[in-house]
Amino acid sequence: MPPTAEFTPLLAPFSPWEPGALPLVVFGAIVLVVMAVILFLSGFLVRRRPTPSKQQPYECGIRPTGPARFRYPVPFFLMAVFFLLFDVETAYIISYAVAWPELGLPGYLRLAVFVIVLGLGLVYAWRKGGLDWDEEEGL
């Protein structure tokens, strides 16, 4: 809406008519409130009647042995490391995807080199066994 004598809009992102920053904040707040109400109700509506056996972790009726915060297999950690590397590079590729018409063929060739190097990295991790899961260990 163009500014007129009697009405000057606020900064465009903060006008409720624009699908900008203000609706994002309000929508986020509404979702937070809905979640908070549900969480509050679930604790508020029903009285808790704790008994020692009810409070045990469920292990098919067998008394649990030891805490459940044990060490877990290394491949999971490796996955997280690979994910971190590849995710940063995905962000880089997405920025190319928006700008390719301006960059033209030279830009594409540079991206191709980048993607090929990325692919070689994947092949290296693969050859080294970083993507393999030891079936004997059990997961």
Cα–Cα distance for residue pair 21/12, rounded to 1 Å? 9
Judged by beta carbon, residue 11 or residue 31, the one nearer other proteins is 31
Q: How far is the CB of 5 from other proteins (least distance, A)?
A: 13
Cα–Cα distance for residue pair 137/128, rounded to 1 Å? 18
Give, as one character, the DSSP assignment of residue 64.
Answer: P
Looking at residue 54, its amino acid is K
Judged by beta carbon, residue 5 or residue 55, the one nearer other proteins is 55
Q: How far is the CB of 100 from other proteins (least distance, A)?
A: 6
Helices (H), ranges, the chain: 21-44, 74-127
Site for other proteins, residues 73 to 112, rule: CB under 8 A: 75-76, 79-80, 82-83, 86-87, 90, 93-94, 97-98, 100-101, 104-105, 107-108, 111-112
Judged by beta carbon, residue 11 or residue 132, the one nearer other proteins is 132
Pair 107, 100: CB distance under 8 Å: yes
Site for other proteins, residues 12 to 51, rule: CB under 8 A: 15-17, 19-20, 22-24, 26-28, 30-32, 34-36, 38-39, 41-43, 45-50
Cα–Cα distance for residue pair 33/27, rounded to 1 Å? 10
